[in-house]
Amino acid sequence: MNETQANTLVVTLVTIINLLLAFLVSGIVIWVLGEDPWFALKTMLYGAFGYDEGLGYTLYYTTNFIFTGLAFAVGFHCGLFNIGAEGQAYIGGLGVGLVCLWLESWPLWLVFPLAILASIVLGGLWGAIPGYLKAKRGSHEVVTTIMFNFIASVVMVNLLSHVLKPPQEMSPESREFSEGVWVPQMHEIFEWFGIEITQTPLNGTFFFALICLFLVWRFIWYTRWGYELRTVGTNETASVYAGISVSKNIIIAMVIGGGLAGFVGINEIMGSSHRLMLNFQAGIGFTGIAVSLIGRNHPLGILLAALLFGILYQGGAELSFEVQAIDRHMVVLIQGLVILFAGALENLFRPQIEQFVKRLAT
């Protein structure tokens, strides 16, 4: 076993053990609530995989978490703690929605790239402002991005209830987009190949998410822009020495992160609800933090972690349906624990695991 392999093994074991710890504590919470953790686990797994509708939902949620997980990861590689994916997804989604409303008579192959562009512009802008303030004024991005989440929420409530809502409607949402600009749903795509699956919100955006994973991976580790970003993220002084602009890279990372978060809008707005509505992004942004941290900020890890949280979301919904005492927010609690164990308490058992791997290697 060479050094790289040993390292990979350590990292994998550390991640798995931290994850198990988070689940253990969650299990205890369920047990304290007087429910059976085993039953809960079984119900969740059945809900997530047991039937193809469940699987469709699971992958639909996974799509969202890939975007917000990547949004966090890109910032993280630049040394930023972007916890504003929530607001960036909200505003990016606004861009997607506006494009769909304005250009609904255009063909999808034109609207789709424009929606991506709108999401990058608006979501990116929502990331760029905290990025700019961090780069030029030193304001900590954790506080500013949180504030921008709140600001986004106020903006959207007012836009939806005063501007975008059709006058005769009651609920604060836009009208439905014309069918021409909907992203094809997965069961439609499968139909093209003659395969029949149950209709779920899962749609073509899933493939776009996979493409994003690939592109981010190449960008971060194989391009000079990624090189600069990582340099800024690990050592600002060395960046200045190398002639790399710290502020430029911070802003770029926040714009890319905001844009990626905004893609949640494509999955949710263009692919599923087909209208702009309140809180479509609720909780997805925060989940991205846990996804990225447990995935060690690497696209492959993010894919697996996003799937895991897709399972937790879908399975959790099933669980709260079956067991009244367990609320859907159980997932949020688990997220907190995952961030704690995989992020802050990363070193909890690391020395022991390193010892173990070392012994294994010799």
Binding site for other proteins (CB under 8 A): 4, 29, 33, 81, 83, 130, 133, 137-140, 142-144, 146-148, 150-151, 154-155, 157-158, 162-163, 218, 222-224, 227-228, 230-231, 234-235, 237-238, 240-245, 286, 289-290, 293, 324-327, 329-337, 339-340, 343-348
Question: Could you tell me the smallest distance in angstroms from the CB atom of residue 16 to other proteins?
Answer: 18
Q: Which is nearer to other proteins, 138 or 194 (CB)?
A: 138
Cα separation of 149 and 169, whole Å?
A: 27
**Residue linked to tokens 């846990």:** 290
Question: Could you tell me the smallest distance in angstroms from the CB atom of residue 248 to other proteins?
Answer: 11
Q: Which is nearer to other proteins, 55 or 74 (CB)?
A: 74
Q: How many CB atoms lie within 10 A of CB 307?
A: 19
Cα separation of 23 and 46, whole Å?
A: 17
Question: Could you tell me the smallest distance in angstroms from the CB atom of residue 312 to other proteins?
Answer: 11
Question: Could you tell me the smallest distance in angstroms from the CB atom of residue 206 to other proteins?
Answer: 25
Find, among 129, 92, 8, 33, the residue nearest to 333 by Cα.
33
Question: Could you tell me the smallest distance in angstroms from the CB atom of residue 90 to other proteins?
Answer: 14
Q: Which is nearer to other proteins, 199 or 235 (CB)?
A: 235
Question: Could you tell me the smallest distance in angstroms from the CB atom of residue 54 to other proteins?
Answer: 22
Q: Which is nearer to other proteins, 33 or 117 (CB)?
A: 33
For 66-90, b/e burial (b = at least 16 CB within 10 A) is bbbbbbbbbbbbbbbebbbbbbbbb
Cα separation of 215 and 178, whole Å?
A: 31
Q: Which is nearer to other proteins, 168 or 324 (CB)?
A: 324
Cα separation of 73 and 71, whole Å?
A: 6
Find, among 303, 281, 284, 282, the residue nearest to 294 by Cα.
303
Q: Which is nearer to other proteins, 110 or 240 (CB)?
A: 240
Give Cα 95 to chain centroid, integer Å: 18
Q: Which is nearer to other proteins, 108 or 333 (CB)?
A: 333
Question: Could you tell me the smallest distance in angstroms from the CB atom of residue 136 to other proteins?
Answer: 8
Q: For the packed helices 284-294 and 299-322, what is the interaxial angle rounded to 10 degrees? A: 130
Q: How many CB atoms lie within 10 A of CB 186?
A: 23
Give Cα 222 to chain centroid, integer Å: 23
Question: Could you tell me the smallest distance in angstroms from the CB atom of residue 238 to other proteins?
Answer: 5
* φ and ψ of 279, to 5 deg: 55, 30
Q: Which is nearer to other proteins, 30 or 96 (CB)?
A: 30
> Could you give the count of Cα atoms lying within 13 Å of 122 in the half-sphere of its Cβ?
25
Q: Which is nearer to other proteins, 90 or 182 (CB)?
A: 90
Question: Could you tell me the smallest distance in angstroms from the CB atom of residue 73 to other proteins?
Answer: 14
The 3-state DSSP class for residue 198 equals: coil
